[in-house]
Amino acid sequence: MEVQEIFYIVLAFCVLWVTVFTCWGIYQVATMVKRANDVLLEVRHQIERVERAINGVKTKFDAGTMHLGSIVDLVSKYTKK
């Protein structure tokens, strides 16, 4: 074997390992991006749940204040007489 043939064999082996490492790196990056996407979807879901809960409390509070206003009007009518 000549030196040039050995050089080409070593070069092919190095290119193979660089290719394997690049594929592994791309896989790791894709996995991290998928995990980040899953976390963002879960955060979005939790924010929607909190928003619905706050809107429910606001609705109950608004209904309660309307009833309280009616009660205050009735009490003020009876106390003026």
The string of DSSP codes covering 27-40 is HHHHHHHHHHHHHH
Gap between the Cα atoms of 63 and 61, Å rounded:
5
pLDDT (tens digit per residue) in 39-72: 999 999 999 999 999 999 988 887 777 777 777 7
Domain hosting 21: range is 1-81
Look at the chain and report how many structural domains it folds into: 1
Strand ranges (E), 1-81: none
3-class DSSP state of 58: helix
For the chain, give the mean pLDDT.
Answer: 90
